[in-house]
Amino acid sequence: MRHVGLKARMAVVGSLLFAFYAVAAVVLLAMFGEGVLPLVLVGSVLFVGVQYKIGKWAALRSVGAEDLPEDKYAQIHQQVEYLSTDMGIDKPRLMIARMGVPNAFAVGRKAAGTVVVSEELLRRLEPDEVEGVLAHELAHIRNRDVVMMVLGQGIASIVAIVAQWAVLLTGDNDLADFFLAIVVGQIVQLIVMVFVLAISRYREYVADSDAAAEVGGEPLASALKKISRGSDRTGDSAIDEQVSALCIFGEERGLLAKLFASHPPVEKRIERLRQ
Amino acid sequence: MDTRTVLAAVLGVGLGLLLLLAPGSVLTVQTAGRLPPDRSGEYGTDGDGSATIRRLVRAVGVALVAGGLYFGWQLLSA
């Protein structure tokens, strides 16, 4: 049985998210009557579906991703072809973008995935390290991590909206009620997202271990090490304004940063990959 | 004392301080699942967003603290 730890954690977090959603649905039913149940269910599915579609489109557009030319990057296409077959998924669309930093990410689902790599990543890493990164991203697609995050954020947003309206509709509609509704909505979303982000951090470890099973742990560990070392220096990323605020060892390394991080610390990932 | 106004004051200041002290964390929460977590940062990290967006988050934080203090002042002067 694959990823028993992940399945157990997903059962716990999934139950919690369902409980949050159920409470929100009950509040809506109490406010508007049982007749709104079909509307609530259809609306929830539509809400998450639109978030998924817009998210994928926005992510690719925001970095200006273009198709990775097969003639120029034949080796990468071959690596992904091989890894995809081995992992039992369709070969995802491969794209390249200039992001100002070494980076790669996956969007989409198992049958319609896209992996984007940055030019800076391809310049800085050796071919075997790039393969480690690609294996990690393919593992995200195989494990449906993107879909799970969209679902988690969707539930958090729905619960937050319901909390907001519950505060508004039970108040006197004065200024304090409007203010309180906004604040409560944001706080509720933060609370639900703590659980979603906790599972996201674990999913990173799982994707790392899947990548290690395919190509060994050292290439990905070496890639992470190289990039985290590079973030200490002001290199080619200095030209990008966005990058100045992005360093791994930046200002927010306290408890809050750990609680709301979607990724575990790079040092821990490297340590696990090398174990 | 109006409970809702007390809550507006306390929670407003609390959330505002969070936005002021940890804008990157708030951005991670808002963008997770909407944009891939790796999108704006270096590989294997959370992107903290651009300096402009962080300033915007901090500005919202200031507004929330100001709002919370206003409702607090209203309570005390009532």
Buried b / exposed e along B5-31 (16+ C-beta atoms within 10 A): bebbbebbbebbebbbebbbbbbbbbb
In 3D space, the residue among A242, A204, A157 whose CA is nearest the CA of residue B44 turns out to be A204
Q: Structure tokens of B49?
A: 């967003």
Q: Structure tokens of B55?
A: 């300033």
Using a CB–CB cutoff of 8 Å, tell me whether B7 touches chain A. Answer: yes
Would you state the pLDDT for residue A22? 87
For A220-250, how does the pLDDT look when each residue is reduced to its tens digit (9 = 90+)? Answer: 999 999 887 765 544 444 333 333 322 323 3
For A53-97, how does the pLDDT look when each residue is reduced to its tens digit (9 = 90+)? Answer: 888 888 888 888 899 999 999 999 999 999 999 999 999 999 999
For A106-122, how does the pLDDT look when each residue is reduced to its tens digit (9 = 90+)? Answer: 888 888 899 999 998 99
Q: Structure tokens of A186?
A: 């944001």
Closest partner CB to B11 (pick from A51, A184, A261):
A184
Q: Structure tokens of A105?
A: 């990410």
* Cβ <8 Å between B11 and A183: yes
This prediction has a pTM of: 0.82
Give the residues across from A117 on adjacent strands: A96, A104
Q: Is residue A193 very low, low, confident or very high in pLDDT (cuts 50, 70, 90)?
A: very high
Question: Which residue is closest to A220 within chain B, CA to CA?
Answer: B44
How many interchain CB pairs under 8 A, A with B? 164
Residue with tokens 């990724």: A263
B70 CB burial (10 A radius; 0-12, 13-18, 19+): middle
Closest partner CB to B25 (pick from A171, A245, A252):
A252
Q: Structure tokens of B70?
A: 């206003």
Q: Give yes or no: A70 in active site.
A: no
In the DSSP assignment, the letter for residue A167 is H
Name the pairing type of β-strands A66-67 and A104-109: unpaired
ipTM value for the complex: 0.88
Which of A52, A61, A63, A105 to mutate to probe the B interface, most B CBs <10 Å?
A: A105
Q: How do the pLDDT tens digits run along chain B, 78 residues long? A: 688 999 999 999 999 999 998 888 888 888 887 776 555 566 766 666 677 888 999 999 999 999 999 999 988 887
Would you state the pLDDT for residue A67? 94
For A7-53, how does the pLDDT look when each residue is reduced to its tens digit (9 = 90+)? Answer: 888 888 888 888 888 888 888 888 888 888 888 889 888 988 888 88
